[in-house]
Amino acid sequence: MSAALVVARVAACLMVAPGFSSPRVSMRARLFFALALSLMIEPLARERLAADAGGTLAVQALALLRETGIGLTLGLVARVYLLCFDMMTAAMSNFIGLSAAFAPSPDGDQQMPTLSSVLGLAATMLVFASGLDAELIRALLGSYQAFPPDLALSQALMGQYLDALSDATLIGLRIAGPLLVISLVANLAFGAASRFVPQAPIYFVASPVLIGLGLLALYAMERPAFGLLIDALGQRLASW
């Protein structure tokens, strides 16, 4: 029964974790990886799960629900950083006038602005390139100490998720802030120019200038923006 409890936590985490949950990863590959990872973790977590594994059927059922909830929380805490990043990159595409072209999302089948799709794919690749996938596995193992069976889970899990959501939102705002300022200043300048020179085709001039300024700003802030995202996600996973 302890193996089933470990599978419940690991499979629930991988079901929503960034990269692992992508529909571009086959269901069979995800299943085999979850089972292999569970076999690695089970001997290390067997002692902590012994009481629940040897309990009555009702105790075992509640333990399965608890393990699934913990796994979902771990995966969602990691996923929420990339979701906020996708939201802010979609807003950045609107700021600089690149919201008309769409491409598939890296982690789903929905359409999103092409710039947001490219940056989201790069962020997902950096999660694996920087070793945060291994950090997520280490966090899974550490979660058996962070969330022991006697812990009041509802409050602890909600607190973890809300803290991660707040942190991810602030980081997203810090990343999108410069482009928002550039877009605001440029549009105010173009609006003032259209008032002083009504006959000038401001709209046809404004669009390429705004796109060019936005791409230049994005090129300048690309490295620190990705660094900020990956460092914050790494620190969150390391806290477990």
Contact 78, 91 (CB under 8 A): no
| DSSP of 136-162 | HHHHHHHHHHHS-TTS-HHHHHHHHHH
Domain map (residue ranges) of the chain: 2-238
Per-residue pLDDT of the chain (240 residues; tens, 9 = 90+): 677 778 887 888 888 888 888 777 778 888 888 888 888 877 777 676 666 666 677 777 777 788 788 888 888 888 899 888 888 888 888 888 877 778 777 777 778 888 888 888 888 888 888 888 888 888 888 777 777 655 556 666 777 788 888 888 888 888 888 888 888 888 888 878 777 777 777 777 777 888 888 888 888 888 888 888 888 888 888 877
Alpha helices in the chain (DSSP H): 2-16, 27-45, 50-53, 57-95, 114-129, 132-146, 153-196, 202-238
